[in-house]
Structure 1
């Protein structure tokens, strides 16, 4: 199954809204999308950091009904990449299944999910 994505800016954050199931087959596509968004956001910052058009990236998962461990691996890698670029990575929305998975794995401590994009960008 393929995933669909839309990129847009909201306040000082770049939002990547994803829809579709994220599993072992679609996780590489999500990884590519996140790498592109994080790298382009990082590259648009001023060298001294003062001209920062964005504080980070919000991954809107409200259209993702299911995510497996391959998807979690992508989230961990994206969080590391964003942190290394001096950006925040925030999760918005997501299914109850995803929230349970984040809690069970302890990832909720480093990637706490926000209720929606508005909360994540506040």
Structure 2
């Protein structure tokens, strides 16, 4: 199940269907980055997380108190307006009471770092990881 949220500024697609979420997260292009210890057949997505559709993939926000840790499960081209979609997601998260979004990824993951910088996230200096944050 998905729900489109539309208002003057928002056109989001929240995804609630365990089947749809699992389909994206267990795709070999995504799953290989999740963990060396997980098995596809045993994996169950966390339904406490917040999922938004982005192209054929998902943006996932893991609840961490008043913060949300952002993860991307992107499949192919994200399409036009990707940064606008991310900012709309953040606006939606803010309306839910979140104060900050952050992400932590491998320092060598250039695509993730470019996405974060393009969306206006602030880079936090770290020797080992790419860490970015934005106050909502």
Query: What TM-score do the two structures reach when normalised by structure 1?
Result: 0.41
Query: What TM-score do the two structures reach when normalised by structure 2?
Result: 0.38
Query: Greater share of strand residues, 1 or 2?
Result: 2
Query: Greater share of helix residues, 1 or 2?
Result: 1
Structure of greater Rg:
2
Which structure carries more relative contact order (alpha carbon 8 Å, separation 6+)?
A: 1
